[in-house]
Every structure is written in C-alpha cells, then in structure tokens.
Amino acid sequence: MSLRYALLGLLAETPQTGYDLTQKFGKVLSRYAWSASHSQVYPELRKMTEDGLVTLVGEGARGSRTYAVTAEGRSRLRAWLMRPPEEAPARNEFVLRLFLLTALEPAEAAAMVKQLTLESEREIEVLRAAVAKPEAESGWYRYAAEFGIRWYTMQRDWAEWVTGEVANELPRAAAPPDPE
C-alpha cells in the first residue's frame, strides 16, 4: 500500500508521468524512504485510475501519459498522512550493516567507519551544493536534500561513536554524549 501513497504524494505536488515518478524513486526517495521500478509504477497507476484516485490528464510525445490526483485521491492521501503512526517495519541494508559492525574485529570496524565517514562527508557536500544552487528545486526535493544532510551527519557521528566504544572495550564505561 505504501507504493500507492508514495505515488499519490508525488502526484499531489504536480501532475506527471510514470516515467517521471520512476525517476524520483530512483534518484531521491529510494535512499531514505521508498523505492519502485517502472515495472511496478505503470501497473499501479492503472489500478489507481480504476480506483478513481488518479486520472489521465494528457498524452504527450512518445506515448507518455500524464496523471493527476483526483479529489478522492487527495482526500485518501490526507487521511493516510494524518492517521496515527503505527509501527511499520523499515528496511535499510545500510543501517543493517552499521548494526552488524560489532561482528568485526575493532580494527576492521574502525576501517569501515573511516570509509563511511569519508563517504558521508562527500555525500553531505553534494547535497549541500544541490541545496545551495539558486535554481534548486523547491518543495520536497529541497526538504529531502536537507534530510539527507542530517541523515548522513547523524550516521557518521554514530558510527564514530561506536568505533570509539568498541575500541575502548570497557564493558560499562562512560555514558554516551548527549546528542544535542
């Protein structure tokens, strides 16, 4: 069901084609939130049309089909967004790897974290640059980039903290520093 709402949410921003939507999954959303390939997107748009949540508002070059959210779709989306959060399991292979870091020898873990720190810093640079550009897209893309910056920063800090803890190997030592 999440796919459906992801599509609805993206279309609520602006009407677009299945191709456009697929690009957004691939480029931004898939990193933190949700992912889908075109083979899932196109059939889902069909079903959503049948269910009256979206509607075809134009056909362009190369057989492109532009969809927009209907009133019904918009109200369903709002209802979904406003409903109290129940725990939905997350899947993030990257975080999984972070969590299993303790299965490595301290030196190996330290090497991995070093790598991670470099990657994170590079990534943060890219996102900062993207946000700083004057022609930066507004709306959710900018917010997503900002999320990414905070995400990578948090991740890096945590990984460095863990490495320190593991290196110290003091079973029950210092309390973690207050984040913030």
Partner DNA sequence: CGGCTCATGTAAAGAGTTACATGATTTG
Partner DNA sequence: CAAATCATGTAACTCTTTACATGAGCCG
Restricting to residues 98-137, name those near its own copies by CB under 8 A: 98-104, 108, 111-112, 115-116, 119, 131-132, 134
Which span (37-45, 69-77, 105-113, 137-145) binds DNA, by CB under 7 A? 37-45
The Cα–Cα gap between 154 and 146 comes to 12
Asked if residue 51 lies in contact with residue 45, where contact means CB atoms within 8 angstroms, the answer is no
Direct distance between the N- and C-terminal alpha carbons of the chain, in angstroms, rounded to an integer: 36
Identify which of residues 18 and 25 has a Cβ nearer to its own copies in the complex. 25
- The residues facing 17 across adjacent strands are 66
Which span (64-72, 119-127, 153-161, 171-179) binds DNA, by CB under 7 A? 64-72
Minimum distance of its own copies from residue 16's CB (angstroms): 13
Identify which of residues 34 and 42 has a Cβ nearer to its own copies in the complex. 34
The Cα–Cα gap between 11 and 30 comes to 17
Q: How many CB atoms lie within 10 A of CB 97?
A: 12
Minimum distance of DNA from residue 159's CB (angstroms): 23
- Tell whether residue 10 is a contact of DNA (CB under 7 A): no
Tell me which amino acid residue 26 is. G
Tell me which amino acid residue 165 is. E
Query: CA 2 from chain center: how many Å?
Result: 13
The Cα–Cα gap between 86 and 7 comes to 20
Pick from 4, 18, 21, 31: which binds its own copies (CB under 8 A)? 31
Secondary structure of residue 105 in the 3-state scheme: coil
- Tell whether residue 46 is a contact of DNA (CB under 7 A): yes
- Tell whether residue 92 is a contact of DNA (CB under 7 A): no
- Tell whether residue 117 is a contact of DNA (CB under 7 A): no
Pick from 40, 117, 146, 160: which binds its own copies (CB under 8 A)? 146
- Tell whether residue 47 is a contact of its own copies (CB under 8 A): no
